[in-house]
């Protein structure tokens, strides 16, 4: 397996070790209403798409429900549908703009 080295992530790693901040950056980002600052690319009714500030690879997006929830299985049917629609839109945009060789997703 090829290892990915992303030295720009050191700022994130060191900050996480030093500060032990329990706040949720997703919740903070949507509450601030400053999408450019928080790298939010698109908002729908129940979810949003945001860039990863410290990505391993170019084009790393996150599709996130507004409701703070750490368990995919506890999402409502509407939330899952909205996430699915945003994921499909995001993949199409990445294909059109970046022509990636493939995609990775979190395994649940």
| Chunked mean pLDDT (size 10), the chain, 108 residues | 68 71 81 92 96 83 92 95 96 92 69
Domain residue extents for the chain: 24-98
User: What are 12-43's pLDDT values in tens digits?
Assistant: 667 766 777 677 878 888 898 899 999 999 99
Residue 44 CA to residue 42 CA, distance in Å, equals 7
Judge: domain 24-98, CATH 3.30.428.10.
yes
Contact partners, residue 41, CB within 8 Å, separation at least 6? 35, 48, 49, 50, 51, 61
Whole-Å CA distances, 36 to 29, 41, 86 = 10, 8, 18
Of 31, 21, 16, 108, nearest to 68 by C-alpha is 31
pLDDT of residue 58: 82
**Looking at the whole model, is its pTM more than 0.85?**
no
């Amino acid at each position: 397996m090829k290892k990915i080295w992303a030295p720009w992530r050191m700022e994130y790693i060191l900050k996480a070790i030093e500060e032990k901040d329990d706040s949720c950056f997703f919740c903070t980002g949507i509450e601030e209403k400053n999408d450019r600052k928080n790298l939010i690319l698109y908002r729908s009714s129940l979810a949003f798409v945001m860039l990863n500030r410290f990505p391993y690879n170019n084009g790393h997006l996150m599709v996130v429900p507004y409701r703070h929830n750490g368990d995919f299985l506890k999402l409502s049917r509407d939330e899952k549908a909205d996430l699915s629609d945003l994921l499909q839109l995001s993949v199409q945009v990445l294909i059109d703009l970046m022509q990636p060789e493939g995609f990775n997703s979190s395994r649940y």
